[in-house]
């Protein structure tokens, strides 16, 4: 992969991130208060979900193309899949030069 391709992907990633954040803000602002009805039609809600899916799919494709791992959030109460290992150094004795 050339440096130009990486830069192009980076720009696309920035665009996708901005689109995702903007769309999320619109959804947050348009979400009705509890007990009231929303003004977005069911069709519009489905279109928004579809947009999020497309953005996530493309972000995943770009990440795979760049060799990035699938980052998943880790929660404090989630069981750990790895165990820490204690590493200690043996202090040099008087006979070691």
> In Å, how far are 14, 24, 27, 35, 93 from 31, measured between CA atoms?
26, 10, 6, 11, 68
Burial class (CB in 10 A: 0-12, 13-18, 19+), 20: middle
Average pLDDT, the chain: 83
Percent of the chain with pLDDT over 70: 85
Whole-structure pTM value: 0.61
Please state, as a whole number, how many other Cβ atoms lie within 10 Å of the Cβ of residue 52: 14
Which band of pLDDT confidence, cut at 50, 70 and 90, is reported for residue 70? Answer: low
């Amino acid at each position: 992969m050339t440096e130009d391709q990486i830069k192009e992907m980076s720009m696309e990633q920035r665009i996708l991130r901005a689109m995702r954040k903007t769309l999320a803000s619109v959804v947050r602002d348009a979400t009705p208060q509890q007990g009231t009805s929303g003004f977005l039609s069911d069709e519009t809600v489905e279109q928004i979900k579809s947009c999020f899916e497309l953005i996530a799919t493309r972000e995943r494709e770009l990440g795979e193309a760049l060799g990035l791992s699938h980052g998943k959030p880790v929660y404090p109460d989630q069981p750990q899949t790895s165990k820490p290992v204690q590493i200690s150094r043996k202090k040099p004795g008087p006979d070691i030069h």
